A and B are shown apart, each in its own frame.
Chain A
Amino acid sequence: MAAADTAASAPLLVVENLRKSFGTHEVLKGVSLSVKPSQVVGLLGRSGSGKSTLLRCLNMLEVPTAGRILLEGEEIGFETVSGGRRRPLPAAQLARQRAAMSMVFQHFNLWPHRTVLGNVVEGPIQVLGMARDEAEARGLDLLERVGLRDKAGSYPIRLSGGQQQRVAIARALAMRPKIMLFDEPTSALDPELVGEVLQVMLDLAKSGTTMVVVTHEMSFARNACDEVVLLEGGDIVERGTPDFVMSRSENPRARQFFAHHRQEKTGGPA
């Protein structure tokens, strides 16, 4: 199936040999990745493996030390000028590129001084230049989609973590992004609130949204992802279908990682 997909469609997002160092510490050691339209890719790995840094590099919240990121063939964050020299893009152009790759954060990051609807319409109005009426109508539809239409006028502080994260997803969707980036979207949630967020993400995945998801939720990786990528120490150690990587891979580091997670699952309180 994977081979057929490759033939059918060009990749939407390509990551080429991405490196990122903080000081002398190299967090990403040359990672390559390709995401096709409507594909859901899960980035797995221990904390410190570089998976969040990789995700944050994709929309230049972290500027990579080396390597390239291409969205529909256009390089993100850099331009090549005459003589083959690369230089960072002007802020306005980088902003335009970022608008096409909305991000959902671990800590939701809703703007506390705007209502739920205000959070959702902010990007469309300020960035896309959409009229307020239209933005609000669409915003309400998106809130409906994440089950929070009745909270449109509330301020984020009045919402539970799970509700805040669903608003954050609606806010990201409002930009009509080409790709959605999720940075451990359920890691800051109380266990009983994880399900409602994962359900929304599962619906998105099924409806053909292209997604890159950093997650510790093994059930989500197995059920929603077309491909999972396991990172360790800034390198990709295994990749493939969830079933392959999580159950059938012969790679000892993959086996160890998933064995550990299965233990946690059965060992912890229900």
Chain B
Amino acid sequence: MNYEWDFSILLQYRGLLGSAALVTLQLVVLSVVLGIAVGLVLAPFRMAERRLLRYPATAIIEVVRSVPPLVLVVWCYYCLPILTGLALPAFWTCVFAIALYSGVFYAEIFRAGVQAVDRGLIEAGMSVGMRPATVMLRVTGPLAFLRVLPPFTSQCVMAIKNSVLGSYIAVGEILYEGQRLSIATFRPLEVLTLVAAFFVVVILPLTLTAGAIERRVFLKYFRR
């Protein structure tokens, strides 16, 4: 290959790329935090004994889960305003769509975690007189979270990656600006490689940290 790499282009447009990276980070933080919140809200309903509570949550989860995330983002951007008369900026549409999409997966992960907690540990909480909310907060919740750390991490990674879907509705995040820049400068290799590297740099420390925490937790609490 005789291609002459010219990374100076990146330096030249560092202001643009930097602010695009910032938009991506904002998108990521907001959609992950909101997604976890959606999961925390949906999971108890999904596990409720009353059908009146359980069925709607189950329906939301199953429907949202079946829609490809890109379709969800595009649908929220073009169709939701027509149906509701409520038009959000592209950035917030993207945040809410990705939060909803990852939220239903978080909900299923949290549910699996809660259901995996040894019934006896919950009964131990009840038998010292804890109220149901205290049992959830002090026993079931923490133990469930420790159990689901690996799928939880994976889901966070997915949510981070899904931020690039914003580029489809012209959110000025890193892929969108990267593509525009590569077209304008005829330097797609440099620019898009940077975009890919950016995600590796964001995600890798996260998964490594999560892996380390997971090992520590396992050794400390669960392995003889």
Asked if A and B are interacting partners, one says yes
> How many of chain A's residues touch chain B, expressed as a range?
20 to 34
Spell out B's residues near A (CB within 8 Å).
118, 120-121, 123-132, 134, 138-139, 142-143, 146, 220-224
Given contacts A109-B124, A111-B124, A113-B142, contact A96 B221 (CB under 8 A): no
Measured CB to CB, the closest approach of chain B to A48, in angstroms, equals 20
The list of the 9 closest CB pairs from A to B, nearest first, reads: A99-B129, A123-B128, A103-B127, A109-B124, A109-B120, A127-B129, A112-B221, A95-B131, A98-B129
Contact A157 B126 (CB under 8 A): no
5 A-B pairs within 8 Å (CB atoms) are namely: A95-B126, A98-B129, A107-B120, A109-B120, A122-B128
Determine the chain A residues whose CB is within 8 A of the CB of B138 once the complex forms: 122, 126
Q: Which of A61, A95, A101, A155 lies in contact with B220, CB distance below 8 A?
A: A155
CA–CA, A122 and B121, complex, Å: 13
Chain A, range 145-198, C-beta contacts under 8 Å to B? 155, 157-158, 168, 171-172, 175, 181
Q: Which of A95, A97, A105, A157 lies in contact with B130, CB distance below 8 A?
A: A95
Measured CB to CB, the closest approach of chain A to B90, in angstroms, equals 42
CA–CA, A262 and B223, complex, Å: 39
CA–CA, A177 and B174, complex, Å: 61
Contact B120 A98 (CB under 8 A): no
Contact A175 B128 (CB under 8 A): yes
By beta carbon, the residue of chain A nearest B127 is A103
Besides A112-B121, A171-B124, 9 more A-B contacts (Cβ < 8 Å) are A95-B126, A111-B121, A111-B124, A112-B221, A113-B221, A158-B224, A172-B127, A172-B128, A181-B127
Q: Which of A91, A102, A103, A113 lies in contact with B131, CB distance below 8 A?
A: A91
Measured CB to CB, the closest approach of chain A to B25, in angstroms, equals 32
Determine the chain B residues whose CB is within 8 A of the CB of A157 once the complex forms: 221-224
Determine the chain A residues whose CB is within 8 A of the CB of B121 once the complex forms: 109, 111-112
Contact A109 B118 (CB under 8 A): yes
CA–CA, A226 and B155, complex, Å: 58
CA–CA, A175 and B146, complex, Å: 27
Interface string of A188-220 (1 = CB under 8 A from B): 000000000000000000000000000000000
Determine the chain B residues whose CB is within 8 A of the CB of A111 once the complex forms: 121, 124-125, 139, 143
Determine the chain B residues whose CB is within 8 A of the CB of A95 once the complex forms: 126, 129-132, 134
Q: Which of B123, B128, B142, B221 lies in contact with A171, CB distance below 8 A?
A: B128
Measured CB to CB, the closest approach of chain A to B135, in angstroms, equals 9
Determine the chain A residues whose CB is within 8 A of the CB of B130 once the complex forms: 95, 123, 126-127
By beta carbon, the residue of chain A nearest B145 is A113
Measured CB to CB, the closest approach of chain B to A116, in angstroms, equals 13
Contact A127 B134 (CB under 8 A): yes
Asked if A110 is at the interface (CB within 8 A of a chain B CB), the reply is yes
Determine the chain B residues whose CB is within 8 A of the CB of A59 once the complex forms: 126-127
By beta carbon, the residue of chain A nearest B224 is A157
Asked if A92 is at the interface (CB within 8 A of a chain B CB), the reply is yes
Contact A105 B120 (CB under 8 A): yes
Determine the chain A residues whose CB is within 8 A of the CB of B118 once the complex forms: 109
Given contacts A98-B127, A99-B129, contact A112 B120 (CB under 8 A): no
CA–CA, A82 and B120, complex, Å: 36
Measured CB to CB, the closest approach of chain A to B79, in angstroms, equals 43
CA–CA, A113 and B125, complex, Å: 13
CA–CA, A109 and B134, complex, Å: 17
Measured CB to CB, the closest approach of chain B to A250, in angstroms, equals 38
Q: Which of A96, A99, A109 lies in contact with B123, CB distance below 8 A?
A: A109
CA–CA, A61 and B121, complex, Å: 12
Q: Which of A91, A99, A155 lies in contact with B221, CB distance below 8 A?
A: A155
CA–CA, A61 and B127, complex, Å: 8
Contact B126 A98 (CB under 8 A): yes
Which of A92, A95, A127, A168 has the most CB atoms of chain B within a 10 A radius of its CB? A95
By beta carbon, the residue of chain B nearest A125 is B138
Determine the chain B residues whose CB is within 8 A of the CB of A175 once the complex forms: 128-129
CA–CA, A127 and B143, complex, Å: 19
Interface string of A50-90 (1 = CB under 8 A from B): 00000000010100000000000000000000000000000
CA–CA, A31 and B132, complex, Å: 29
Measured CB to CB, the closest approach of chain A to B203, in angstroms, equals 27
Measured CB to CB, the closest approach of chain B to A61, in angstroms, equals 6
Determine the chain B residues whose CB is within 8 A of the CB of A122 once the complex forms: 128, 138
Determine the chain B residues whose CB is within 8 A of the CB of A155 once the complex forms: 220-221
Measured CB to CB, the closest approach of chain A to B132, in angstroms, equals 5
Which of B124, B127, B143, B220 has the most CB atoms of chain A within a 10 A radius of its CB? B127
